[in-house]
């Protein structure tokens, strides 16, 4: 089991920054390649590709929570030194996830004709290509689940260096392979086939690394059916929450495709993908927070757990707040430079509304992880069950009224309500108090971000020249950084930040 100093120092700094770097590289590749892919595929073709990306994300839900359960139980085996139990646990999880993947492939394949012919508004010339592409995606589902199972084993051993060694190229390929395929004359089916081959390569790489780190897995290939009960018992509520949250996160695109057009999905998907990628920082953090919260709770270190919770919310607000303010203020200019005037005209308001939602959703990930880490995944699942019908009606109504801007507003209202529920539950269940949030600088952080968000637009509206706007933005960002470092962060925050970069650089130099 990890001890408390590791949780606060080396572990969180190393894992968070490794995961962050692992997400940033694909993000940069995506920003560079998406404009080319949009031009070559057209708005409708890109809309179909974006649906394919959504489906690829949905596939991990077929593991029924076994991925998260595998991480938990493998970590327990390692903590107790019970390596003899490891082969049965790992091979059982992997085998049953492959079985679930095959069943899922059949289910998805059976649904594809209905999705393409009756639900999505696809022009006749692209119907055949779309069906072929989605059938190829369905065939890759067992590989997706196998990848999840094997990656969970490495994460349990805290080998995020090896995880990112495979994950970075795999995630880069999601954006790079479509551009390469289009450059050599391939269309949607060729793009999806290359993505499936990339997934197979990643699965084999994870398997090789698992066998290298744990040689006992190669010497003892065994299935232990008795492990299914604890695995499913732990993963059940996680699955409910994961399935519903994924539907809530992506239902807007399907509603747009059904009520408006696939071209409108393209106008919505591009800014959504861009602003959504900013969640890489909270995503990188909460992956490390989950075991940290669990360990501190097991140790009975409630005071330190609350401080970790409060400081995590504070860091996310300070890191993401200014970036999202910049996105809101410069939304039109960014879209014009990135995707052209047509996208700027159609998607500026969408980007601005979604930016607010992303900030709320990112902050809510901390209480979400706290609640699950302290053994109450039923709470998050019940919240999502409550939100599902409310959001379904809201997104249908607002898309019908205001198109893609209505979809953005519906999503932002939903994640705002979700954040209110999660922070309220963390307080109500006495997992974290409002007093601890205030004592650890959250109020100061909020005032700093609100100040930046109020001053920047007012200043820029008085300076129409772009060069002047850039200079003023740099000035205000610098003042925000200095004020935050001097008055918002305390000595422990500054020490942690100063040492974190050295931690991750040292890790990359010594990757084995």
Residue 276 lies in a domain: no
246-268, pLDDT tens digit by residue? 788 778 888 998 888 878 888 89
Question: What pLDDT does 3 receive?
Answer: 38
235-249, pLDDT tens digit by residue? 787 888 877 887 887
DSSP H/E element including 390: helix 377-428
Higher local confidence (pLDDT), 22 or 167? 167
Residue 457 lies in a domain: no
Q: What percent of the chain has pLDDT over 90?
A: 17
Average pLDDT over residues 13-36: 82
Residue 183 lies in a domain: yes
Is residue 339 pLDDT above 80, yes or no? yes
381-404, pLDDT tens digit by residue? 899 999 999 999 999 999 999 999
Q: Could you identify the residue written with the tokens 């004592």? A: 439
- Distance of CA 171 to CAs 52, 55, 57, 147, 234, Å? 14, 15, 12, 13, 28
Residue 219 lies in a domain: yes
Cα angle value 33/39/41 (rounded, 5°)? 95
Question: What pLDDT does 498 receive?
Answer: 61
94-133, pLDDT tens digit by residue? 888 888 889 888 988 888 888 888 887 788 888 888 888 8
Query: What per-residue string of b and e applies to 151-180 under the rule 16 or more CB within 10 Å gives b?
Result: bbbbbbbbbbbbbbbbbbbbbbbbbbbbbe
Contact between residue 282 and residue 429 where contact means Cβ atoms under 8 Å apart:
no
> What is the overall mean pLDDT for the chain?
83
Strands (DSSP E) contained in 281-334 are none
Question: What pLDDT does 11 receive?
Answer: 61
Domain region containing 106: 1-223
Confidence of residue 224 (pLDDT cuts 50, 70, 90): confident
Residue 391 lies in a domain: no
Residue 58 lies in a domain: yes
CB atoms inside a 10 Å sphere around CB 287: 18
The total of structural domains in the chain comes to 1
Question: What pLDDT does 512 receive?
Answer: 44
Is residue 507 pLDDT above 60, yes or no? no
Separation CA 285–CA 17 (nearest Å): 8
The 3-state DSSP class for residue 185 equals coil
Question: What pLDDT does 422 receive?
Answer: 94
Predicted TM-score (pTM) of the model is 0.75
Residue 463 lies in a domain: no
Confidence of residue 431 (pLDDT cuts 50, 70, 90): confident
Residue 350 lies in a domain: no
């Amino acid at each position: 089991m990890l001890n408390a100093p590791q949780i606060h120092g080396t572990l969180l700094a190393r894992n968070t920054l490794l995961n962050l770097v692992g997400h940033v590289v694909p993000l940069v590749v995506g920003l560079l390649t998406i404009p080319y892919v949009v031009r070559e595929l057209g708005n409708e073709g890109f809309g179909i590709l974006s649906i394919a990306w959504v489906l690829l994300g949905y596939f991990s839900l077929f593991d029924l929570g076994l991925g998260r359960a595998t991480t938990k139980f493998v970590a327990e085996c390692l903590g107790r030194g019970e390596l003899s139990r490891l082969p049965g646990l790992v091979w059982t999880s992997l085998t049953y996830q492959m079985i679930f993947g095959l069943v899922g492939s059949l289910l998805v394949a059976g649904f594809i004709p209905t999705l393409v012919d009756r639900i999505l508004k696809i022009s006749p010339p692209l119907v055949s290509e779309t069906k072929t592409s989605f059938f190829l995606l369905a065939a890759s589902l067992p590989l997706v689940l196998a990848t999840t199972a094997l990656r969970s084993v490495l994460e349990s051993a805290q080998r995020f260096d090896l995880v990112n060694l495979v994950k970075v190229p795999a995630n880069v390929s999601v954006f790079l392979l479509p551009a390469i395929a289009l450059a050599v004359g391939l269309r949607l089916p060729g793009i999806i086939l290359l993505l499936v081959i990339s997934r197979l390569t990643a699965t084999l790489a994870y398997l090789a690394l698992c066998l290298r780190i744990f040689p006992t897995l190669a010497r003892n290939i065994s299935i232990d059916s008795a492990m299914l009960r604890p695995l499913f018992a732990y993963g059940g509520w996680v699955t409910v929450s994961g399935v519903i949250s994924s539907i809530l996160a992506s239902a807007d695109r399907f509603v747009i495709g059904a009520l408006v057009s696939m071209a409108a999905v393209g106008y919505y998907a591009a800014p959504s993908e861009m602003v959504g990628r900013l969640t890489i920082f909270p995503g990188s953090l909460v992956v490390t927070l989950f075991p940290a919260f669990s360990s501190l709770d097991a140790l009975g270190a409630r005071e330190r757990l609350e401080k970790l919770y409060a400081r995590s919310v504070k860091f996310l607000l300070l890191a993401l707040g200014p970036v999202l303010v910049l996105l809101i203020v410069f939304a039109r200019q960014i879209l014009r430079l990135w995707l052209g005037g047509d996208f700027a005209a159609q998607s500026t308001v969408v980007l601005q509304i979604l930016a607010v939602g992303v900030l709320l959703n990112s902050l809510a990930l901390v209480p979400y992880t706290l609640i699950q880490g302290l053994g109450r995944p039923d709470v998050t699942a019940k919240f999502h069950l409550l939100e599902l019908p409310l959001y379904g009606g809201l997104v249908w109504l607002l898309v019908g009224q205001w198109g893609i801007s209505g979809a953005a507003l519906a999503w932002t209202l939903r994640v705002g309500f979700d954040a209110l529920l999660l922070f309220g539950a963390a307080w109500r269940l006495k997992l974290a108090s409002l007093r601890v949030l205030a004592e650890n600088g959250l109020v100061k952080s909020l005032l700093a971000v609100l100040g930046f968000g109020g001053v920047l637009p007012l200043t820029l509206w008085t300076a129409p020249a772009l060069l002047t706007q850039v200079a003023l933005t740099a000035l205000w960002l610098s003042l925000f950084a200095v004020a935050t470092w001097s008055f918002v962060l305390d000595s422990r925050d500054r020490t942690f930040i100063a040492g974190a970069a050295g931690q991750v650089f040292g890790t990359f130099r010594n990757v084995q």
